[in-house]
Copies of this chain bind each other. A is one copy, B any other.
């Protein structure tokens, strides 16, 4: 039951060559479609009502679970529904209810243009999948669909807001890839139901879920100290990213509590390379460090690579703690001790908050902050 290999079920080898597609076989036996399917009008409420010998309204009541329906009729109606194989037409229903039963997952990337490959890099990061999984876990029981929306250029944002208002979705969960994204503000201004994952850089009157980045960093600090490390440094993330700022300040504060008032640090940009570079810089200036907190796993992995090449043994000579518990943490050698944020839970909570907001639009905006946990592996 170790990490199962879902991807492998279907795969093969990569292709820079864009259009290497070659139609191959075409198994066709007879007409592709079942004739009955194409023509036969799907059963409507009317059909069910006729079969059950009641009116449309009654059937509607039964289906929507509204009281005031005689139990016997209830029975009759349901058996008619089953007999006809009736499924409510979503479009017709939402035309009148003004609800779509859909929420949008909006991935907003203000810096990239519409067809930027950046998006694909984002999608291949487990982060995205974990969020989707968390959302689905909350949405599915409620019978709500999840629709994906990508917005890149600013021009697309206005359109998105328009689409959102006009029945594309009842609300949206926003995933901003960059600090200072304008979308949360736009949604707030338009009065649309929305929940942001991750605290917006600037305060925006919109609900969000987040993780306590500062406390997560403190966890890392406590751990390093508990491991007996006394000369501890840090590689931070970009200074304009809220999460990054919180991690740095949380770490420094925790170290101060442990009596280390100065934390040698360098600034990275969350990439593997910047972690590699950052670690080398840090050690060049402070060669006797015996512990390093790195603000995300990818940089930590890079740092680990640098340490390996520098001949420093991890964790014996120097301990490393990352942040995120991404796949990079497992991929790193040695495997990375890291701070994990409960992304699935956060996403699920975001979905629940959004549903509540949709049901009761005047609800106050709220923020829910989750507690991170420390995952101890071999790097510390």
Contact = CB atoms under 8 A, between A and B. Distances in A.
Interface of A: 2-29, 31-34, 36-38, 42, 85, 87-92, 94-95, 100, 102, 114-115, 118-130, 132-134, 136-137, 140, 145-150, 162-163, 165-168, 175-179, 189-192, 197-198, 203, 205, 210-213, 215-216, 219, 237, 241, 243-244, 247, 269-273, 295-299, 301, 323-328, 330-333, 338-345, 349, 361-375
A303 B345 CA distance: 33
B369 A24 contact: yes
B126 A29 contact: no
Contacts of A326: 7-8, 11
A18 B328 contact: no
A372 B12 CA distance: 6
A25 B369 CA distance: 9
Given A11-B127, A22-B369, A42-B166, 12 more contacts: A8-B243, A21-B368, A23-B367, A32-B191, A36-B191, A37-B190, A87-B166, A89-B167, A90-B91, A91-B167, A115-B137, A327-B328
A33 B363 CA distance: 9
B24 A205 contact: no
> Could you tell me the dominant secondary structure of chain A's interface residues?
mixed
Contacts of A162: 85, 87
13 contacts: A5-B296, A11-B341, A13-B373, A13-B374, A14-B341, A18-B345, A37-B192, A85-B162, A89-B95, A90-B168, A91-B94, A146-B148, A327-B328
Contact of A26 (B90, B341, B364): B364
A147 B145 contact: yes
Contacts of A342: 14-15, 17, 20
Contacts of A364: 26, 28, 32
